[in-house]
Each structure stands twice: as structure tokens, then as C-alpha cells.
């Protein structure tokens, strides 16, 4: 069996393979609610054979959205349409995951195809918040510095959303602490200039995330999985870097985090990033080795052979795909064919499957 298609077990939850659907913003919600688009988008990837399927970044508070069209989870009602999605993903034998997020100073911006920069309050925008009153760029609004009380309130919001996600059928929760959004902003000295317990030293800058992860872990029952996505480096001198990421991963492991999802960048507008195939995989490899924690690799992973090599050589435990799964929702099934291993197909699609492909048994029929 190719390593990419082997089972991966964390706690008492088994992923059927090492392929995951990375969180991908769809900018298609109204008032934060999931709709038919989200159902079609996410369930197609579960039918396609991914082992774990994550929602897009779901904001834990209204001002935590990136755009006014972002997914939200700040109320119990938001989980009603999400529960249907989780049930369908589970029935396909995949693990349903939700990514909890807060955009911080990068909130209240236009979705990509509608414009650039800050959305005025008159057009549905809001005043963003951050660790310090430092704008991301000239076209972004200057955020309001969060008070310690509001930090505690947001930690509670993350934990409450996690508990609701579990109740709705999601077996994995990921905390989004990457790409220049709120939790990443606290980590980086380039965006965090605070002089209190949440700024300055490494211990202080990582405090918000560590306390948030601990609160979320307490809100989840033991079998639930907890991932944290980080940007392993700001790609800028004097910013957050991979050495700090390794130490952070060590501390998150002691809190009960199961896996570090290793991305990079997003906190500095004009950072020079050496983008290329697998350019972020070394971060996953180093954190896995030095922090002794499971990792996911992301970023320009496109071919089955490339993905299999990442798992086979111990660079990461999972590969999370984004753009490649937008191009082909059935990439896992194609990968299995390319790697010469018969992966189970849905019974409804068996007539199109390669010879010898087994039938996928829906989870609700397994005893």
C-alpha cells in the first residue's frame, strides 16, 4: 500500500488515508451561515475520498470574519446547516473537521473578487481588532487594541464554538493561528507591540494561543482531535520564525494539541516568499522531528507521487490539499489509481471505477 493511502490514527480516531481537505474560504455566506454552496463544496471532497475534510475558516465572532461573506460560528444556529454537512462527510467514511478563526486586523475586507482593502462600515464593514493598533497595510483599517478582558472573552468564544462543533458531529477542530490573522498577530513581534502579559517575550506573545488551545481542549471530549494551523515563519527578519514555531509546538503538545498544520507567511504585506513545489514541507518535517508531534504539510503539493513521498520519508503525517482539490474534487481516487492501489469508491460511482476497485461502505452501515 502507498504510504499516502495508509490509515492514520490519532487518539481513538482513524483517518482512512493521509489526504486532507485544507480549509478554503468560499466567501459565500450571508450573516455567517453555511448554505447549499458549502454543502456541495465540502461533501464533493468527501465523496472524492479524502480522509479528513475541513470547513473554511469559521469566525467565532462577527468581527472575526475576514469579509462580510465569511462563514461564522458565533451562535448555536450557525451549526444547524453545518451539522448536515458533518453527517454527510461522516457517512462517506471521512472525518469532518471545522477550522475556528478570528481575522483580527485583517478583518472587514472585501472578498477577493469584489475589491481590495477595507470594507467601509456603510457597506457592511466594521472596525477590526488586533493585539496592537497597527494596520496590516495602507489599504487596511487600523485595528482597535484588544483589552485583556476581550482576549478572555474571545478565548471563551473559541471554546464555546468547539463544544458546539462536537455536538454538531465534527470530530476534529483546528484553531487558525496562521496567515496574519488574530492569533498569528499575537505571536509575531512585528504586529504585537503590547507591554502587558500578552506582548513582549516569547512566553507572553504565545500566551493567547496557548490559553485558547487549553480552553478548546477542555471543551472537547477526549476522542475529539485538536489541530493548530500556524505560519511557521513570517519570512521577514525580526518576525516570527521556525525556531519559535518548534518551541511553540512543544508547548502546544503538552496542552493536548494533536497535530500542527504547518503553513507560513501572511503577516507581512511585502514579505519575499520563495514559493515553489513543496516549499513549506521542511517546516512540517522539522517541527515533527524536533517537537515530537504529528504535522500536516501544505502548499503546492500537486502530484500523488510528491504527496506519497512526503509521507513515506517522514516529512509529515498528513498532506492537506487546497487548490488541487478545487481543480479535482476526486484527486484522492485518481491518486490511488496513479499509485496502483485500489481505493474504495462510492457504490453509486462504481460503474466508473477502475477494475478491481472495492466498494466504499458508508459509515452508518458499519457495526
Which residues are known catalytic residues?
181
The closest alpha carbon to 4, from 305, 342, 326, belongs to 305
In this structure, are residues 72 and 62 in contact, taking their beta carbons and an 8 Å threshold? yes
Buried b (16+ CB within 10 A) or exposed e, 187-217: bbbbbbebeeebbeeeebbbbbbbbbbbbbb
H or E stretch at 185 = helix 182-187
The reported pLDDT for the residue numbered 362 is 66
Any residues with CB less than 8 A from the CB of 115 and at least 6 apart, and which? none
pLDDT of residue 366: 40
CATH code at 3-321? 3.20.20.70
Please name the helix (run of DSSP H) or strand (run of DSSP E) that holds residue 219, with its range, or none: helix 207-219
31: Cα separation from own chain's centroid: 21
* % residues pLDDT > 70 (the chain): 98
In angstroms, the CA 272 to CA 300 distance is 17
Are the C-beta atoms of residues 168 and 79 closer than 8 Å to each other? yes
**pLDDT for the residue 258:** 98
What is the tens place of the pLDDT at every residue in 88-107? 999 999 999 999 999 999 99
Mean pLDDT, all residues of the chain: 96
Segment 151-178 shows an average pLDDT of 98
Amino acid 361: pLDDT: 77
Strand stretches in the chain, DSSP E: 8-10, 13-15, 19-21, 52-59, 95-101, 129-130, 144-145, 172-177, 225-231, 259-263, 294-297, 318-321, 345-346, 359-360
Please spell the DSSP secondary structure of 288-338, one letter per residue.
HHHH--EEEE-SS---HHHHHHHHHTTS-SEEEESHHHHH-TTHHHHHHHH
pLDDT in tens, 253-294: 999 999 999 999 999 999 999 999 999 999 999 999 999 999
Mean pLDDT of 344-363: 89
Is residue 327 a contact partner of residue 334, using CB atoms and an 8 Å limit?
no
Tens digit of each residue's pLDDT (9 = 90 or more) over 189-223: 999 999 999 999 999 999 999 999 999 999 999 89
Calpha distance 182→146 (Å, rounded): 10
Q: Give the mean model confidence (pLDDT) for residues 232-258.
A: 98
Q: How confident is the model at residue 367 (pLDDT cuts 50, 70, 90)?
A: very low
Q: Parallel, antiparallel, or unpaired: how do β-strands 52-59 and 129-130 relate?
A: unpaired
C-alpha to C-alpha distances, 30 to 65, 272, 325, nearest whole angstrom: 12, 35, 24
Q: Judge whether residue 152 has pLDDT over 60.
A: yes
Q: Is 41 exposed, middle or buried (0-12, 13-18, 19+ CB in 10 A)?
A: buried
Quote the CA–CA distance of 8 and 15 in Å, as a whole number: 5
**Confidence class for position 342, pLDDT limits 50, 70, 90:** confident
Convert the pLDDT of each residue in 54-73 to its tens digit: 999 999 999 999 999 999 99
- pLDDT band (50, 70, 90) for residue 365: very low
Amino acid at each position: 500500500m502507498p504510504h499516502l493511502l495508509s490509515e492514520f490514527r490519532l487518539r481513538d480516531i482513524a483517518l482512512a488515508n493521509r489526504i486532507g481537505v485544507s480549509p478554503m474560504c468560499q466567501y459565500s455566506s450571508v450573516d455567517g451561515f453555511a448554505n447549499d454552496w458549502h454543502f456541495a463544496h465540502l461533501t464533493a471532497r468527501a465523496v472524492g475520498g479524502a480522509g479528513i475534510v475541513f470547513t473554511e475558516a469559521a469566525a467565532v465572532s462577527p468581527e472575526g470574519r475576514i469579509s462580510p461573506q465569511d462563514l461564522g460560528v458565533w451562535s448555536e444556529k450557525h451549526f444547524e446547516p453545518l451539522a448536515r454537512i458533518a453527517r454527510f462527510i461522516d457517512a462517506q467514511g471521512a472525518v469532518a473537521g471545522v477550522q475556528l478563526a478570528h481575522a483580527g486586523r485583517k478583518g472587514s475586507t472585501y472578498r477577493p473578487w469584489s475589491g481590495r482593502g477595507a470594507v467601509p462600515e456603510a457597506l457592511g464593514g466594521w472596525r477590526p481588532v488586533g493585539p496592537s493598533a497597527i494596520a496590516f497595510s495602507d489599504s487596511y483599517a487600523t485595528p482597535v487594541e484588544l483589552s485583556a478582558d476581550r482576549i478572555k472573552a474571545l478565548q471563551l468564544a473559541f471554546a464555546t464554538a468547539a463544544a458546539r462543533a462536537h455536538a454538531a458531529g465534527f470530530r476534529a477542530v483546528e484553531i487558525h493561528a496562521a496567515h496574519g490573522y488574530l492569533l498569528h498577530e499575537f505571536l509575531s513581534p512585528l504586529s504585537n507591540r503590547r507591554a502587558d502579559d500578552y506582548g513582549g517575550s516569547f512566553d507572553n506573545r504565545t500566551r493567547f494561543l496557548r490559553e485558547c488551545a487549553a480552553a478548546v481542549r477542555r471543551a472537547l471530549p477526549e476522542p475529539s482531535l485538536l489541530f493548530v494551523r500556524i505560519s511557521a515563519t513570517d519570512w521577514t527578519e525580526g518576525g516570527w520564525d521556525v525556531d519559535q514555531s518548534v518551541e511553540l509546538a512543544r508547548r502546544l503538545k503538552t496542552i493536548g494539541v494533536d497535530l500542527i498544520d504547518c503553513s507560513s507567511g501572511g503577516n507581512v504585506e511585502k514579505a519575499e516568499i520563495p514559493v515553489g513545489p513543496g516549499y513549506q514541507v521542511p517546516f512540517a518535517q522539522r517541527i515533527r522531528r524536533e517537537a515530537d508531534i504529528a504535522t500536516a504539510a501544505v502548499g503546492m503539493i500537486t502530484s500523488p507521487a510528491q504527496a506519497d513521498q512526503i509521507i513515506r520519508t517522514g516529512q509529515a503525517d498528513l498532506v492537506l490539499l487546497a487548490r488541487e482539490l478545487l481543480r479535482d474534487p476526486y484527486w484522492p481516487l485518481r491518486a490511488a489509481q496513479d499509485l496502483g492501489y485500489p481505493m474504495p469508491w462510492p457504490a453509486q460511482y462504481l460503474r466508473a471505477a477502475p477494475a478491481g476497485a472495492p466498494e466504499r461502505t458508508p459509515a452508518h452501515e458499519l457495526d
